[in-house]
Structure 1
Amino acid sequence: MRRAGLSRRSLLRAAGLGGAALAAGCTGFATTGNGGMVFLSTQFRPVDEAERFRRLLASVTPGEVSYVTIEEGPFTSQVRSQVDAGRTQLGLVAGLHGDLAPLAGDYLTDVTGLLRRLGDRGWPPEYLRLARTGTDRSWYVPWATASYVLAAHADALEHLPPGAEATSLTYDQFLDWAIAARKANGNRPMLGLPAGPEGLLHRFTQGYLLPSFTGGQITTFRSAEAATAWEYLRDLWANCVSASTTYDFMQEPLETGEVRMAWDHVVRLVEAPERDPAHWRMLPSPRGPHGLGYMAVVAGLAIPKGSTDPALAEHTIDVLCRPRTQIELLRSNSFFPTVDAVIPEELPPAITLEADAVRRQQEAEDGLLSLPPVGLGAREGEVTKVFQDTFRSIVLDGEPIRSTLDRQAANLQRILDELRIPCWAPDPQSDRCEVA
C-alpha cells in the first residue's frame, strides 16, 4: 500500500474531456421531485464517465441526487442567471477552479465553516489556497485532480539516450529519445501527440512546454524564450507519427501499436497498458530551463447561493470527500484524490503506473505549477484557438515564429482586455493580464 502522493503539490484535471449534452428536459434544472436535488457539473461529460460517476454517487447518496453535466460556458451562465433571478434550481455544483473562481462571492456560498466541520482530511495547502480565490473565505471544497504524463512501451524505452533517466528527462533528452526511436524503427516515428480535433495538445503548450522554457504562459507568450520553445516543438514534431493530427485520445494509437510513446491526459492514457502492463511505463513530463512545468487541474464542489437543499449539498460534499469514496472515483474515472488517501495495490495497472508518475511530477524540486485559464467563461475556446492556431502556423505550416507570435499575442491581448481579468499561474497575479 502507498499514500496517494497527491497531497503536497498541486495536481490536475484537464478542462472538459469531450462533450455530452444536457439530458432532454433538464434545461429548467428542476429538483428531482423525490426530495432530492440537481447536481450540475462540468466534469465527467462523456457518457461512459457520467454513468460511472452516477453509479458511484447513487451508492453514497441513494436516490437523492440527480447528476447533470454541462459545458463550461453555459455552466457559468446558468449559475449566474438563476442566482441573479433569485430562483436557484440547483443544489450543488462542480467544476474546475477556473469554472468556480469567477463565481466566488456573488454566486457561491461561503464554505469556510463546512471545511472546518469536515476536519483535517489532508487537503494540500495549495488547493485550499486556490479555493479562497484571493479572499479570506473558501468558496469551494477541493474534490478531484488529474494530470498529464508520458506513456512509453518497452519497445520505445530501449532507445532512451545514454545517461538519460526516464523519470527525470530534460526536453533535450526527450527529443533525442524521439529521434533515436525513429531511427531504430526504420525511420518510422514512435512518438505521438494528441493534435486531433478534440485532442489536448494546447494544454501541452500552455501548461508544460511554455512554462518549462519561459517560466510563464501568458506574460511570456511572445518572448525570445517562447520562440525557442516553438522552435523546439517544430523539431519534436518532425519526429512524431504524421497521423498525430488525427489523434484525440492517445490510448487508442498506443493500444494498436501505431505509436509507442505519447503525452496526454491520464484519463486518455488509462486503457493502453490494460492487456500487458508489465511492458509499460508512465513517466513525468520533461523539464526545461525554468524547471518542470506541469498543469494542475483541480476540480471543486460548491454550493450556489439559494441552493435548493443546502443540507443535502453539504452531506454530498462530505461523502464525496471521504478517502474511500475518492478511491472509488479513482478506480472508476481515473481522477486522483485531493484528500490523504491510501491507494490500494489492486487498482487497474495503468492507474498504479500513473500515480507514480503524477507523484514524481508534483514533488519535483523544480516543479512549476500551471493552471488552466481562469475567468474566461464562454470565451475559453477563443484562447484555446490562439494556442491551436499558433501551433498550426508555426509547426504545421512552417510560418515565421516571430511574426506568428506577434500576431497571436495581439489576438490574445484583445480577449484579455475585453474580459479585464488577472493572469493565472504560473504568471504573476495582477489586476490586468498583459501579454509581454
Structure 2
Amino acid sequence: MRRTPAWFGLLVCAGLLATIADAADPTGRLVFLSTQLRPIGEAQKMRNLVLKEFSPEVDYITDLPQRLLTRIETERQVGMHNIDVVGALHGELQPLATLGALVPLDDLAGKLAGRGIPNRLLALGKFGSPHQLYIPWMQAGYIMVANKQALPYLPSGADINALTYDQLGTWAITLQQKTGKRLLGFPAGPHGLMHRFFEGFLYPSYTGGVVVPFRSEAAEAMWTQFASLWRSVNPNSTGYNFMDQPLLSGDVWIGFDHIARVLGALRQKPNEFVAFPAPAGPKGRGYMPLLVGLAVVRGAPDIAESMALIDYLTQPATQITLARTVGFFPVVSAKLPPDLDLGLKMGAGAIAEMQSAKDALPALPPVGFGERDAEFDSVFMETFQLIVLRGQKTRPVLDREAETLKRLISETGASCWQPDPPSTGACLVQ
C-alpha cells in the first residue's frame, strides 16, 4: 500500500471540520449522528416520522461507519463539540469507548430498567467496563426468503425453519434441474452485503469462528463446498445489491439478505413469499445479530437533552414506529400491534426462529477495526472472488489471504470477538 502524503491528511481533517461546522446548529437543535438508516428514504422517515414528536428539534445526520471515529476524534482534538448523540452498531461504538469519548449512562440505564431491555444486550453496552456506555436502540438481522413456487422442490423431510447448507444445496440443484434456471441468489454486488454472509453465517456455521479458524481445514472444506453450490446460484448475483427486486421479478426464488433489503418484497407480495432462518452447518446455525446502540458524546453541547432523546427513542411507542417505518425491531418489551403489516411480521418471525434455534450460534459484526473495517470485509470478498468466481485452488488462496488478515489485525490490535474465543491481545489466525 502506498503511504498517504501528509497534505492529504490535512485536507481530510479540514473537510471533517467543515462538515462538523455545517452540522452545528446555533438554534440549539440537538445533533444526532447515525451510521444507520443512511439511505435517503430511511433518513427522511427518521426525520419526518420517528423524531417529529420530540422536542427540542433534532438534526438527524448520517455518515459512513468508517468516518465515525475520525469525526469524533477530530471534534475532541479541536475542542469543537457539536455532536450530541451517536447511533451506531455495537462494533462501531467500541472504538469510541476505547477512546474515552462516551459519557457513562448508568443513571439513564437505571431509569429505563422497567422497559424490559434484555440484560444480555445491556451488558454489551458496557464493553466489559463497570459503566453503561451505550443504551441498546434497535435490532435487525439477516434472513432467507423464498418464493412459494420453490417449496415443492424442498428436499424430502426438510424443515424450512431448520435447514442445513447441504439441504440448501440440494434444493438449489433440484430447482435448476426442474426449471432449467439458477434460482438461488445472494447480494454479491458492489454495494451488497455478501461479506456479512461469510463473516456471520458461513464461517461460524462451518468452523465455529471467523478469524481464528480462517484458514483451517474446516474453512478449506467450506469454501470448496460453497464453490460447488455457486454453480446453482443465479450468475446475476454479482450485480445484486438488494435482493428484494430479484425476488419480486422472479429472477430469484430463494435469496439471502438483510431484512431491510428484502422487506420490500415481503410487503408488496406477502402471500407469494415465505421468510425463514439461514441454514446450519457442522458447528451450528451461525447468524449475525445486529444491535444498534445510542451513546452520548463527551463534550456534547446538551447532555441532559441528549439523554432525553435516548429516553424518547427507547419508549415502546417510538420503537413500534421504528419497526413500522424502517423495519428495525424493538429492543424493549413492546408487543408488535396486530395491525402491523404481514411482511414485517414474516421478517420478525424468521429472526425470532433463528435466535431461538437450539443450534443458534451468534456471531457479532467485526469489532476493533474502526476506519479500516472495509479492509477486513475485503479479505472475505477477495477470498470469495478468487476461489468461487475464478476457480483458484482453495488452500493457496486461504494461506495468502490469512497473511493479509494477520497484518491488518496486528496493525489495528483488534481483539477476538464472538464466536472466536476471547483474546488478551490481537486476535490470532491459526
TM-score (norm 1): 0.92
Seq. identity, %:
39
Q: Which residue in the other structure is 1:4 paired with? A: none
Off by >4 Å, runs of 4+ in structure 1? 22-26
One-letter code aligned to 1:109: V
Residue 26 of structure 1, CA deviation: 4.2
Provide the secondary structure at the position in 2 that maps to 1:270. helix
User: Which has the larger displacement, 350-359 or 49-58?
Assistant: 49-58
Query: Is the 8 Å Cα contact of residues 345 and 352 (structure 1) preserved in structure 2?
Result: no
Write the deviation string for residues 242-293 of structure 1: whole angstroms up to 9, x where unpaired. Answer: 1111100000111111111100000000011333312210000111111110
Query: Is the 8 Å Cα contact of residues 266 and 346 (structure 2) preserved in structure 1?
Result: no
Q: Which residue in the other structure is 2:336 paired with? A: 343
Provide the secondary structure at the position in 2 that maps to 1:394. helix
Q: Which residue in the other structure is 2:43 paired with? A: 50
Which of 404, 411, 416 is the matching residue for 1:411? 404
One-letter code aligned to 1:32: D
Q: Which residue in the other structure is 1:358 paired with? A: 351
Residue 35 of structure 1, CA deviation: 2.1
Alignment of 1:10-409 (within 5 A): 26-62=19-55, 64-104=57-97, 106-185=100-179, 187-409=180-402
Query: Is the 8 Å Cα contact of residues 104 and 133 (structure 2) preserved in structure 1?
Result: yes
Q: Hey, what's the Cα distance between the residues in 1 that align with 2:154 and 2:429?
A: 37
Distance of aligned partners of 1:408 and 1:216 in 2 relative to their CA distance in 1, 3 Å threshold: same
Q: Hey, what's the Cα distance between the residues in 1 that align with 2:329 and 2:259?
A: 10
Q: Hey, what's the Cα distance between the residues in 1 that align with 2:108 and 2:231?
A: 52
Q: Hey, what's the Cα distance between the residues in 2 that align with 1:60 and 1:235?
A: 52
Q: Hey, what's the Cα distance between the residues in 2 that align with 1:103 and 1:392?
A: 33
Residue 29 of structure 1, CA deviation: 4.9
Provide the secondary structure at the position in 1 that maps to 2:268. coil
Q: Hey, what's the Cα distance between the residues in 2 that align with 1:212 and 1:129?
A: 25
Structure 1 alignment gaps of length 5 or more: 1-21
Q: Which residue in the other structure is 1:18 paired with? A: none
Provide the secondary structure at the position in 2 that maps to 1:388. helix
Residue 205 of structure 1, CA deviation: 0.7
Q: Hey, what's the Cα distance between the residues in 2 that align with 1:305 and 1:184?
A: 60
Q: Hey, what's the Cα distance between the residues in 2 that align with 1:56 and 1:290?
A: 42
Query: Is the 8 Å Cα contact of residues 165 and 279 (structure 2) preserved in structure 1?
Result: yes
One-letter code aligned to 2:161: T
Structure 2 alignment gaps of length 5 or more: 1-14
Could you say what the CA RMSD is over the residues aligned between the two structures, in angstroms?
1.6
One-letter code aligned to 2:144: L
Residue 84 of structure 1, CA deviation: 3.4
Q: Hey, what's the Cα distance between the residues in 2 that align with 1:310 and 1:58?
A: 18
Provide the secondary structure at the position in 1 that maps to 2:26. coil
TM-score (norm 2): 0.93
Query: Is the 8 Å Cα contact of residues 29 and 89 (structure 1) preserved in structure 2?
Result: no
Provide the secondary structure at the position in 2 that maps to 1:273. helix
One-letter code aligned to 2:152: E
Distance of aligned partners of 1:235 and 1:317 in 2 relative to their CA distance in 1, 3 Å threshold: same
Higher relative contact order (CA 8 A, sep 6+): 1
Q: Tell me the number of residue pairs that the alignment of Structure 1 and Structure 2 aligns.
A: 414
Provide the secondary structure at the position in 2 that maps to 1:253. helix
Q: Hey, what's the Cα distance between the residues in 1 that align with 2:114 and 2:24?
A: 32
